[in-house]
């Protein structure tokens, strides 16, 4: 039978299926972080141990202080980091705490260490685990009780989702990034458009994107309601992984690549839904509301809710405009910004920082702006390339690795009523702090907002020309 990439990975990991249709899957990779302490408490109370420490990897990210030393952090938050390391020592798995050169956001360090590999099932107690599908893994976020189940058994029960293929052909125009592509996808299909599906991305645009760009797209698949996002591994994937510390090496590498080449959907495989987009029509995108689907090209005006036929969506738009302090019909490029955040598991990799630095170079920020690398490795590489000096010279603040302002649970947050141009993945009310107003944008768009003090079309600053 013709099979999709998802089918192939699912069937290879299926152990048994219950009468209700749920399948027990073997888990190849399990990422944990400083917000998963309850799961360790749960298995300890049951007298259980971590079944496969060798397949478990942890990093402090959600609660770490990105400004200074751990000693300067709130004691309650610092305790979360300590508990991760204590659990790692007790269970004998690798984990990286504050100050460790390998520490970083789990969805950044997984790929860069080669822990994420094609054809694997990878889970983590974080919704943006879909990121890892960019390397051809079946990756999805799980809840605390599921984390405990994986820790104790190295398996997880899952209902098999339907499958959607999103094909984006053509070529992206100047100034358009992977972040714009995924925001356009969500704008088109809606935040519930992917509910009940696993999404495979393909087409000319995906083939042309770097692995980092694909990671951005798969990262935000969850914002379209989908369980996971995948991209079939190709030569770019293999080149990215070769030589990574935890990737296969020697003869094992050659065999792995041979196996990975078979990880693609068969030509006549059938998907439950097909979506096609023309990449050439996508512009730099910015969100105007409190949902990623409430987005628009930077060149357009804020939409009028009364023109929305669906009463639920109309009411949601009206509520979003009230929260965001906006009026329909206003040009989005005229909106003043109070601060800028460049970081998160969506856009904190070296390619993202290079793009932002290209805008910042030789210019000066007019509003507070922080840049938070996604990992110690990204930070070191950026500093070796002089990106930190470019940001500092432009008045941007250069931080330590962590989730930072994306989750607002670590001291980094947007003050009430302020408007932030953010490269993160969520913009719901209060996401970056109580009464904070978030506009999701790409890294160069965020840097442009910092320079001009308002949402700005990066093409007008020569980006991508």
pLDDT at 71 over 60: no
Write out the two tokens for 378. Answer: 């990204």
Q: Is 5-273 a CATH 3.40.718.10 domain?
A: no
- Identify the band that residue 439 occupies on the pLDDT scale cut at 50, 70 and 90: very high
Encode pLDDT of 217-268 as tens digits. Answer: 999 999 999 999 999 999 999 999 999 999 999 999 999 999 999 999 999 9
pLDDT value, residue 455: 98
Full strand arrangement of the beta sheet holding 29-33: 94-96, 56-59, 29-33, 121-124, 138-141
> 116 and 260 in contact (C-beta within 8 Å)?
no
pLDDT in tens, 253-311: 999 999 999 999 999 999 999 999 999 999 999 999 999 999 999 999 999 999 989 99
Domain ranges of the chain: 5-273, 286-461
Q: Name 228's bridge partners.
A: 198
Confidence of residue 77 (pLDDT cuts 50, 70, 90): confident
Q: Are strands 29-33 and 56-59 parallel, antiparallel or unpaired?
A: parallel
Angle between helices 178-189 and 211-219 (to 10 degrees): 30
Q: Answer whether residue 165 shows pLDDT above 90.
A: yes
Topology annotation, domain 286-461:
Aconitase; domain 3 (3.30.499)
Q: Is the pLDDT of residue 72 over 60?
A: no
Query: Can you give the pTM of this predicted structure?
Result: 0.97
Q: In the structure, what pLDDT confidence band is assigned to residue 69 with cuts at 50, 70 and 90?
A: low
* Angstrom distance (rounded) from CA 62 to CA 398: 18
Do β-strands 197-202 and 285-287 pair in parallel, antiparallel, or remain unpaired?
A: unpaired
Lowest-pLDDT range of 200-204, 276-280, 317-321, 404-408: 404-408
Domains 5-273 and 286-461 in one fold: yes
Q: What is the pLDDT of residue 74?
A: 76
Phi/psi for 23 (5° steps) reads -110, 140
DSSP state of 50: -
Q: What is the rounded average pLDDT of the residues 173-202?
A: 97
Helix (H) or strand (E) holding 15: strand 14-17
Mean pLDDT for the chain overall: 96
């Amino acid at each position: 039978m013709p099979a999709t990439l998802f089918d192939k990975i699912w069937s290879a990991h299926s152990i048994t299926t219950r009468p209700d249709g749920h399948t027990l899957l073997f888990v190849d990779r399990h990422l944990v972080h400083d917000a998963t302490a309850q799961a360790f408490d749960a298995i300890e109370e049951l007298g259980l141990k971590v079944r496969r420490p060798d397949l478990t990897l942890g990093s402090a990210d959600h609660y770490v202080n990105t400004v200074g030393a751990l000693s300067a952090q709130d004691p309650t938050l610092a305790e979360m980091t300590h508990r991760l390391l204590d659990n790692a020592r007790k269970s004998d798995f690798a984990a990286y705490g504050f100050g460790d050169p390998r520490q970083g956001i789990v969805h950044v360090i997984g790929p860069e260490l080669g822990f994420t590999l094609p054809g694997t099932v990878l889970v983590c107690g974080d919704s943006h685990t879909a990121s890892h599908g960019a390397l051809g893994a079946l990756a999805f976020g799980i809840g605390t009780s599921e984390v405990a189940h994986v820790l104790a058994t190295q398996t997880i029960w899952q209902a098999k989702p339907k499958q959607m293929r999103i094909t984006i052909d053509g070529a992206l125009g100047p100034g358009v990034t992977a972040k714009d592509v995924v925001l356009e996808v969500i704008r088109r299909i809606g935040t519930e458009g992917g509910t009940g599906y696993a999404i495979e991305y393909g087409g000319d645009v995906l083939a042309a994107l770097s692995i980092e760009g694909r990671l951005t797209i798969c990262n935000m698949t969850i914002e379209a309601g989908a369980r996971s996002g995948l991209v079939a591994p190709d030569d770019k994937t293999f080149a990215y992984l070769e030589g990574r510390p935890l990737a296969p090496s020697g003869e094992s590498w050659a065999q792995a690549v041979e196996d990975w080449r078979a990880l693609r959907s068969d030509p006549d495989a059938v998907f439950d839904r097909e979506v096609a987009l023309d990449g050439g029509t996508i512009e730099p995108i910015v969100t105007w509301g409190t949902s990623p689907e409430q987005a628009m090209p930077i060149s357009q005006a804020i939409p009028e809710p009364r023109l929305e036929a669906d009463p639920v969506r109309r009411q949601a738009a009206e509520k979003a405009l009230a929260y965001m302090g906006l009026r329909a019909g206003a040009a989005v490029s005229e909106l003043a910004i109070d601060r800028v955040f460049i970081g998160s598991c969506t856009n904190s990799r070296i390619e993202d920082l290079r793009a932002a630095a290209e805008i910042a170079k030789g210019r000066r920020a007019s509003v507070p702006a922080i840049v938070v690398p996604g990992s110690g490795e990204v930070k070191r590489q950026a500093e070796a390339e002089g990106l930190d000096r470019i940001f500092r010279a432009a008045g941007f603040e250069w931080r330590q690795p962590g989730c930072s302002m994306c989750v607002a649970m670590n001291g980094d947050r947007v003050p009430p009523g302020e408007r932030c141009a953010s490269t993160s993945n969520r913009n719901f009310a209060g996401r970056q702090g109580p009464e904070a107003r978030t506009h999701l944008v790409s890294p160069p768009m965020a840097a442009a907002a910092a320079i001009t003090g308002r949402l700005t079309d990066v093409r007008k600053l020569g980006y991508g020309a």
